[in-house]
Structure 1
Amino acid sequence: MKPTLEDVVRPSMVVSGYRIEKKLGAGGFGKVFLAWRDGGPCALKFIHLESVGEWGWRELFIMLRHEFPNVVKLLSHFKWPEEKPEYLVLVMEYVPGVTLYQWARDNNPCARELVEKLLPLARALKAVHAQEVKHRDLKGDNVLVRETDGEPVLVDFGAGAMPGAPRVTGALAPANLRYRSPEAVAFFLREDRKRGESYDYSVRDELYALGVVLYVLSTDVYPFNGPDDELLGEILDGDPKPPHVRNSRVPQALGELCLRLLAKAHARVPDAEALCEALEKLLEAAKADPRWEVPLCYGWTVDGRTTEDAPELVGHDPEAWLRKWIRQKPKRGRPPAPPVVAPAPPEPPDTSTVPTLRTRVRRAAPVLMAVVGLAVVGAGLGHVLGQRQQPPSSPTPGQPVLTLPLPGEFSLDDPAPWATHVHEVAPPWKPPEADAGATPSKANTPAPVTTMTLSSGTTRMKKKAPGSQAEKEKKGNNSTGANVLLAVAAAANMACPGAQVRKEPAPQACPAGAVETMTRQLGIPVGDMSGAELPGRKEGSNKPVPVKEGAFSLELTGNWRVGKDAMLRGGREVLPDGTRLSGQLCIGEKRVYGRITQVVTPTGDTFSVCMELYDKVGDRGLEIEPDGGGAVTVHPFADVKAVERFE
């Protein structure tokens, strides 16, 4: 097998006079290593010329011509190895620090601190745009916060553009879909788009991406999120929840500026100069308003919990939820050192005190276990009788409370493959029900949801099907306890398909743009395959694992390489080991079929794809193993095949 760059470039080796210390990271156009020369550090970016092609020269072309404030500097460049060059190596200024998103997670900044970070970045973009240069991949992970002075530094111009730079094919520049503007998405979905036609990326696209960055920093969630087909429609609709509504700690003026950056092109902030003026005005206003000094997210506490992440139990396993809820960490900031407290003798309980949330959760555990038991009994009897619940007493001010219902971003399962490290937040100075904040208003059990496959020109991907199911439930037993028991019992009933007839999935077109992204942007040809592992396998075991119909994910068991020979040697890496793949699982009569529509790399880059699950002998789907003990089980290892249409 052809060695990878990590196999060749190792710590302590010398590359053209630079001593390698360690790998710093990887992006879509190269891998970066920390190196030393003449007693000083630098960053070496290795760009594989054969696989990246003309894209590899764009960053060099831009950085050679210009030097911008708050932009990483190019020091030198060379080809390597000298005798037979395979890589273009850019010698860059080394910026010690963390990404902008990691800085926010570590420090839990206030609104003023966000503006102070964004203002130098906006000034840098003003200088960049003045030279007709566009970054085209602006996101929080491409901005480093320098640890020496706290200044933001824009890095990675691998997807950049400027007049005279090498031209390459592709409808859109490679970038994360969440940062695409509505006009870029509309171009991509246009039915009359000519083959080879490229989108004319503008300054307004860059400002839209910066608006996404500001939204994430302010609320800890993306303005739009989800599978690619839904995400495209949401971006086209362009109606995000205002940041100051999602998170009450965001000053309204800052939230409104963020919405102006995310608006349609005609209403968007026109250029970086106007953005700088708006940010400067916000800093002036912040001097006289103490709300700008409040951390935007909850921090670490010894025994406290946030209130917005307590999910409703309807339709879920309370025991599994309880385990996950207890393990979940607070939102932002660094954890304090655990206090050293001498053990004290137990005291008799005082009925006048309100127990802490941890005590409430511990006391609630037996009740939740009983709910699970009743659900199982209910599955056999076909119904569960709910009991009338007494109105809850008002909590003592200052005590954390367990609130319902489930926030939209919360999931009881492992985070969806498109999920980020960001979460929703709520105001700390009052209960979540005091205003809209980050906690959603109370809602009944939702009506069934119909998912629509995106086609060219479609703007709305997901809608609630008409009907009166929610109203019927509302007219029934309004007791929360009864609703919980009925929902858990229904979930238990649905978990066992019984004697229903299972059929193979019908043929279906791939999501819009998935094949183009997969073949052109990732470079995975139709028909290529790679190995993957289903979740649930124990280390060192090949025993079958249980699967359920619906959303699922699996993980690559090695680097996906294309162009391998018959002995699986050589080729080039297109997806790294550990990449997660997600899609839908369908259980047939004898086999389980999987359709994969999205991949997420370990660095968080997300791509729309069209792939199917195959077994190791080359047959579509995975054979259902016998003696599954009532569950549907399959072999834990499979192949993933790139296709142009779901069979």
Structure 2
Amino acid sequence: MTTDAFHPDHLQPGNLVGPWRILESLGSGNFGHAFKAERDGDFFTLKMAVRPAPSLDKETQETLQEARQVDGRMRHEAATLMANASQPGIPHLRAVDRWPHVSKGYLYIVTDYVPGEPFHTWRKRTHPSAAQLVDIFIEVVRVVAQLHRHGILIRDLKSEHIIIHPTDHKPVLVDLGSAWLPGGSMLTEGLAPGTPHALPPECVAFLREGRWQQGARFKAAKTGDLYQLGVFMYEALTACWPFDPGMPTEELLVAIETVRPRAPHRLNPEAPESLSLIVMRLLEKRPEDRYVDASALSQALWDAAKERSKKSWKVPLAHSPEGPAPMTQDEVEERRLQKQEAERRAREAPPQKEEERSQEQALEQLSFLTREIEAQVVLAEEKEARRKKMQRRAALVAGSCLLGLTLLAVGWWRFVPHPPAVLSAKGNAFVSTLNNSRSGKAVLTWLCATFSLGCPAAQVRPPSEGCPREVIQGMEALDLFHKDYALIIDINQPGEPNERGVYQSGKIVSRVIKYDWTGPLPEGTLLYGQLWTEGLNKEGRDAVYGRYTEALFPDGRRVPVCFVMGDRSGLTPKDDGSKPGRARLPKEWTITAVRWWP
């Protein structure tokens, strides 16, 4: 079956891309769309670079730059796979080509199909034991070590990119588009595309220094991949991340650079301490404090795995429904020793410029201050929990923030080298260190946020706001108001329109269906938007909120829009049988054009 599809997102089951027959969509991201394909009875994965569709207007410099970036990721992944053709744990590359035009079309690569599910999904479903996890850790590290021997750096290693085979439970690394190859071209200025909450501290320092604004590029190293292995293992052992991805970006970056996360065996007492200590070494702030290389890490995991005969290693790692274990007195002592070590390093560090020393010492000392406050509050919370069964946790957390701000105001003079005092209009002196320090501002807003852990949390519905005036004018010109529309909510879910689908919070691509009563959007138009599925209510029922901000017409035109799912409230009640993080809705639904986001 041939196809007249214009854009990768328009491809449907049965369409042909060269000799490869599309079977189903495997999902899409910012840089590519993956499909399961078939040829001569064998199954493959076809990944196509998603870049701006050719426009009726002349391409702008921005669209050309984006096209080079996404094509570059696909070329990097193809080169990485080709350089490791015989390496187990990585898909085998079968083809590189363009579609629909051999020279001007979208770049795509074809690899062997990898059955299974992403690691984080597999972990939630199977509840593996420590013995099972250490086997997976060793296999993943072995693949990383092999790539490093070839001079290849992954730079965006995370659990979503590790597929667990359904029968032998072997991990396979996929999505190597951010990889750095010796002699390869740079994808972007500054840092390579990656995941913010998994950025190594040295990457955050590069961003803070601002040299990327002058075109400087970060020099990646093997130790960055080792840090991200630590983030992956931390998630596996605790069902949390070292740092909460939901934090505001500036606060998140400050935390990554300055705060030592709680050890996995402290959060989850079922996690073996030997594995926990390996993870904490991988998450060290200074690259030189991590393992020398992936081979040394592999040896450490082998040594830890000698304990696998213990009964505690053979039971599923339980994650308490009440959340992480409270902080212990041992942890308080550990944090005290960490502070002493940091102070020792500060004394031995070479002299710095006074301005740099002021900001860096303020940031370091304040981070330890917040951790000490956290330790005291959590210990108090533990006693209160035994007495009142944790009913007043929220009040204590709020109190901890107030305590932290109070101690900050009182203790700041002891920790920060003082600049000259400035007289206010009334003649009183005050210190302006916080006001003049970017890092200080970030820490001040971050103080309360650091009391939460990096556990997955529900997305927050965005506030009501007006649709941009130019978008409304464009929609009026297309006569998109005063009509209803029908669509398939998720083009990546197979099945019939009269069935039910299962949806999660995050980005969504929907396809318009044309009826006699629907508005002028053409059949097959794709709508790009976002779903929020948790913490919402409509008429007494749990609900989903959906927004759409861009339309891709079948002729290739991209148009900014303002649509909401369902009626003007943007809320659609969930069907019976919905679970947290898995909302059941009809596969076919309606949308409404709005001038104001509800």
TM-score by length of 1: 0.52
Match of 1:474 in 2: none
Question: Is the aligned partner of 1:255 residue 2:271?
Answer: no
Give the Cα–Cα distance (whole angstroms) in 1 for the partners of residues 196 and 302 of structure 2. 30
Among 149, 153, 160, the alignment partner of 1:130 is 149
Measured against aligned partners, the alpha-carbon deviations of 1:486-539 in whole angstroms (never above 9, x if no partner) come to xxxxxxxxxxxxxxxxxxxxxxxxxxxxxxxxxxxxxxxx999699xxxxxxxx
- Per the TM alignment, residue 85 of structure 1 is displaced from its structure 2 partner at its CA by 3.5
Give the Cα–Cα distance (whole angstroms) in 2 for the partners of residues 26 and 46 of structure 1. 9
Match of 2:29 in 1: 27
Q: In structure 2, the residue corresponding to 1:78 is in which secondary structure?
A: strand
CA contact 2:74–2:108 (8 Å) conserved in 1: no
Match of 1:223 in 2: 242
Give the Cα–Cα distance (whole angstroms) in 1 for the partners of residues 252 and 436 of structure 2. 10
Match of 1:151 in 2: 170
Measured against aligned partners, the alpha-carbon deviations of 1:469-494 in whole angstroms (never above 9, x if no partner) come to xxxxxxxxxxxxxxxxxxxxxxxxxx
Give the Cα–Cα distance (whole angstroms) in 1 for the partners of residues 470 and 199 of structure 2. 28
- Per the TM alignment, residue 72 of structure 1 is displaced from its structure 2 partner at its CA by 1.6
Measured against aligned partners, the alpha-carbon deviations of 1:118-175 in whole angstroms (never above 9, x if no partner) come to 1010000000000001111100000000113210000111111111222333211111
Give the Cα–Cα distance (whole angstroms) in 1 for the partners of residues 201 and 385 of structure 2. 47
Q: 1:394 to 1:156 in 2, by over 3 A?
A: closer
- Per the TM alignment, residue 246 of structure 1 is displaced from its structure 2 partner at its CA by 1.0
Aligned-residue Cα RMSD (Å) equals 4.5
Question: Is the aligned partner of 1:236 residue 2:251?
Answer: no
Question: Is the aligned partner of 1:306 residue 2:289?
Answer: no
Amino acid at match of 1:276: S
Aligned residues between the structures: 381
Match of 2:79 in 1: 61
Give the Cα–Cα distance (whole angstroms) in 2 for the partners of residues 73 and 404 of structure 1. 54
Q: 1:407 to 1:56 in 2, by over 3 A?
A: farther
Give the Cα–Cα distance (whole angstroms) in 1 for the partners of residues 97 and 121 of structure 2. 32
Measured against aligned partners, the alpha-carbon deviations of 1:66-118 in whole angstroms (never above 9, x if no partner) come to 22221122111211114663211101111100001111101111222111111
Give the Cα–Cα distance (whole angstroms) in 2 for the partners of residues 53 and 118 of structure 1. 31
Question: Is the aligned partner of 1:460 residue 2:482?
Answer: no
Q: 1:403 to 1:568 in 2, by over 3 A?
A: same
Give the Cα–Cα distance (whole angstroms) in 2 for the partners of residues 119 and 530 of structure 1. 54
Q: Which residues of 2 match residues 92-491 of structure 1 at below 5 A?
A: 92-193=111-212, 195-225=214-244, 226-264=247-285, 265-287=287-309, 289-298=310-319, 306-308=321-323, 403-406=390-393, 445-448=399-402, 457=439, 460-462=443-445
CA contact 2:269–2:325 (8 Å) conserved in 1: no
Amino acid at match of 1:577: G
- Per the TM alignment, residue 444 of structure 1 is displaced from its structure 2 partner at its CA by 7.9
CA contact 1:191–1:457 (8 Å) conserved in 2: no
- Per the TM alignment, residue 3 of structure 1 is displaced from its structure 2 partner at its CA by 5.3
Give the Cα–Cα distance (whole angstroms) in 1 for the partners of residues 316 and 119 of structure 2. 16
After alignment, is 55-64 or 445-454 more displaced?
A: 445-454
Amino acid at match of 1:31: H
Amino acid at match of 2:48: F
Give the Cα–Cα distance (whole angstroms) in 1 for the partners of residues 266 and 210 of structure 2. 36
Q: 1:62 to 1:558 in 2, by over 3 A?
A: closer
Q: 1:463 to 1:77 in 2, by over 3 A?
A: closer
CA contact 1:223–1:240 (8 Å) conserved in 2: yes
- Per the TM alignment, residue 306 of structure 1 is displaced from its structure 2 partner at its CA by 3.3
CA contact 1:238–1:262 (8 Å) conserved in 2: no
Q: In structure 2, the residue corresponding to 1:199 is in which secondary structure?
A: coil
- Runs of 4+ aligned residues of structure 1 deviating over 6 Å after TM superposition are 391-395, 449-455, 526-531, 554-559
Match of 1:36 in 2: 38
Q: In structure 2, the residue corresponding to 1:75 is in which secondary structure?
A: strand
Q: 1:61 to 1:407 in 2, by over 3 A?
A: farther
Q: In structure 2, the residue corresponding to 1:113 is in which secondary structure?
A: helix
Give the Cα–Cα distance (whole angstroms) in 1 for the partners of residues 94 and 162 of structure 2. 19
Give the Cα–Cα distance (whole angstroms) in 2 for the partners of residues 96 and 237 of structure 1. 40
- Per the TM alignment, residue 638 of structure 1 is displaced from its structure 2 partner at its CA by 5.5
Match of 2:529 in 1: 577
Amino acid at match of 2:313: W
CA contact 2:49–2:71 (8 Å) conserved in 1: no
Give unpaired runs (5+ residues) of structure 2: 52-63, 327-382, 409-433, 449-467, 474-483, 486-504, 511-519, 535-545, 549-560, 564-591
After alignment, is 454-463 or 139-148 more displaced?
A: 454-463
Amino acid at match of 2:443: R
Amino acid at match of 1:248: P
Measured against aligned partners, the alpha-carbon deviations of 1:378-422 in whole angstroms (never above 9, x if no partner) come to xxxxxxxxxxxxx99999xxxxx96445489xxxxxxxxxxxxxx
Q: 1:393 to 1:45 in 2, by over 3 A?
A: closer
Give the Cα–Cα distance (whole angstroms) in 1 for the partners of residues 243 and 385 of structure 2. 37
CA contact 1:309–1:406 (8 Å) conserved in 2: no
CA contact 2:81–2:90 (8 Å) conserved in 1: no
Amino acid at match of 1:234: A
Give the Cα–Cα distance (whole angstroms) in 2 for the partners of residues 15 and 26 of structure 1. 17
CA contact 1:48–1:86 (8 Å) conserved in 2: no
Give the Cα–Cα distance (whole angstroms) in 2 for the partners of residues 274 and 309 of structure 1. 30
Measured against aligned partners, the alpha-carbon deviations of 1:431-471 in whole angstroms (never above 9, x if no partner) come to xxxxxxxxxxx778434487999975557354659xxxxxx
Give the Cα–Cα distance (whole angstroms) in 2 for the partners of residues 195 and 245 of structure 1. 42
- Per the TM alignment, residue 273 of structure 1 is displaced from its structure 2 partner at its CA by 0.3
CA contact 1:111–1:295 (8 Å) conserved in 2: yes
Q: 1:463 to 1:24 in 2, by over 3 A?
A: closer
Give the Cα–Cα distance (whole angstroms) in 2 for the partners of residues 48 and 445 of structure 1. 48
Amino acid at match of 2:321: T
CA contact 2:141–2:298 (8 Å) conserved in 1: yes
Give the Cα–Cα distance (whole angstroms) in 2 for the partners of residues 260 and 166 of structure 1. 32
Measured against aligned partners, the alpha-carbon deviations of 1:579-605 in whole angstroms (never above 9, x if no partner) come to 6699xxxxxxxxxxxxxxxx999xxxx
After alignment, is 48-57 or 226-235 more displaced?
A: 48-57
Q: In structure 2, the residue corresponding to 1:122 is in which secondary structure?
A: helix
Match of 2:9 in 1: 6
Give the Cα–Cα distance (whole angstroms) in 1 for the partners of residues 547 and 224 of structure 2. 23
CA contact 2:268–2:325 (8 Å) conserved in 1: no
Question: Is the aligned partner of 1:72 residue 2:74?
Answer: no
Give the Cα–Cα distance (whole angstroms) in 2 for the partners of residues 176 and 600 of structure 1. 24
Give the Cα–Cα distance (whole angstroms) in 1 for the partners of residues 384 and 198 of structure 2. 44
Give the Cα–Cα distance (whole angstroms) in 2 for the partners of residues 73 and 214 of structure 1. 26
CA contact 1:234–1:461 (8 Å) conserved in 2: no
Q: Which residues of 2 match residues 551-590 of structure 1 at below 5 A?
A: 576-578=528-530
Q: In structure 1, the residue corresponding to 2:443 is in which secondary structure?
A: coil
Percent of aligned positions that are identical = 26
CA contact 1:57–1:166 (8 Å) conserved in 2: no
CA contact 1:115–1:283 (8 Å) conserved in 2: yes
Q: 1:568 to 1:229 in 2, by over 3 A?
A: farther
Q: In structure 1, the residue corresponding to 2:214 is in which secondary structure?
A: coil
Q: 1:270 to 1:76 in 2, by over 3 A?
A: same
Q: 1:106 to 1:167 in 2, by over 3 A?
A: same
- Per the TM alignment, residue 230 of structure 1 is displaced from its structure 2 partner at its CA by 1.1
- Per the TM alignment, residue 59 of structure 1 is displaced from its structure 2 partner at its CA by 1.5
Measured against aligned partners, the alpha-carbon deviations of 1:551-577 in whole angstroms (never above 9, x if no partner) come to xxx998978xxxxxxx999xx99x942
Amino acid at match of 1:60: A
Amino acid at match of 1:258: V
